[in-house]
């Protein structure tokens, strides 16, 4: 891959961004352009996700990548949940509600569902498996930033709903940990706001 046009970065440029720069420079970007994200970039950020730490090297993550009409998978999940929660609606009113719910899946050209998929290692602890999958999401977000992408980690009640879990055909022990909306930014990144870390730190040295 040589170039990605005016909005993205090629692999060499992405590799030149320091880890600390990426950590401090990444922001949640909720508005992105409709331009497709290149397959090579998607594969690169997934590769970065796969290098997250995990207890006993269980690597308890998997991803569902949705582009184009593939995003309908997520849209139908939102619609099914909304329909189940609206037993009193029918006709045009119900259809309009479901239309709005389906549209949520199309807010970016690329959506990735990140799933905690525990392995069969008897030493694995569920809470640690979830933490590892979430660490993989952070890796993915940092890599996306390095490639010039905007991204936002979405969750909310629908992500945890059994209907959504069934919609993605998850096993009983699997959990969705993130809906990641990605694309080339169509907004200015917000200014950083962080509480000084020393206000959240206790030093024990005696």
Q: What residues form the annotated binding site for FMN?
A: 26-28, 55, 153-155
What distance in Å separates the CA atoms of residue 164 and residue 82, rounded to the nearest whole number? 11
What distance in Å separates the CA atoms of residue 158 and residue 83, rounded to the nearest whole number? 12
What distance in Å separates the CA atoms of residue 180 and residue 112, rounded to the nearest whole number? 5
Residue 107 CB burial class (10 angstroms; 0-12, 13-18, ≥19): middle
Residue 160: which H helix or E strand, with range?
helix 157-160
* Token digits of residue 34: 């409709």
List, as one string, the DSSP characters of 16-82. Answer: TS-HHHHHHH--B---B-SPPPPHHHHHHHHHHHTTS--GGG---EEEEEEEGGGGHHHHHHHHHHH
Which 3 state secondary structure label does DSSP give 149?
A: coil
Residue 180: which H helix or E strand, with range?
strand 175-183
Which residues are known binding-site members?
26-28, 55, 153-155
């Amino acid at each position: 891959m040589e170039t990605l046009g005016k909005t993205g970065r090629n692999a060499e440029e992405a590799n030149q961004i320091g880890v600390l720069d990426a950590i401090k420079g990444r922001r949640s970007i909720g508005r992105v352009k409709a331009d497709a994200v290149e397959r090579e970039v998607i594969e690169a950020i997934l590769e970065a996700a796969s290098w997250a730490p995990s207890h006993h090297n269980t690597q308890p993550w998997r991803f569902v990548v949705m582009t184009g009409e593939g995003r309908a998978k997520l849209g139908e999940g939102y619609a099914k949940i909304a329909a189940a929660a609206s037993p009193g609606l029918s006709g045009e009113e119900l259809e309009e509600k479901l239309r709005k719910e389906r549209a949520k899946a199309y807010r970016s050209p690329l959506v990735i569902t990140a799933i905690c998929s525990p392995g069969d290692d008897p030493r694995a602890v569920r809470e640690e498996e979830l933490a590892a999958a979430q660490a993989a999401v952070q890796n993915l977000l940092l890599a996306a930033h390095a490639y010039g992408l905007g991204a936002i980690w979405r969750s909310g009640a629908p992500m945890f709903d059994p209907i959504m879990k069934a919609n993605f055909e998850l096993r009983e022990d699997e959990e969705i940990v993130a809906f990641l909306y990605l694309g080339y930014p169509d907004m200015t990144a917000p200014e950083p706001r962080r509480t000084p870390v020393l206000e959240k730190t206790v030093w024990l040295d005696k």
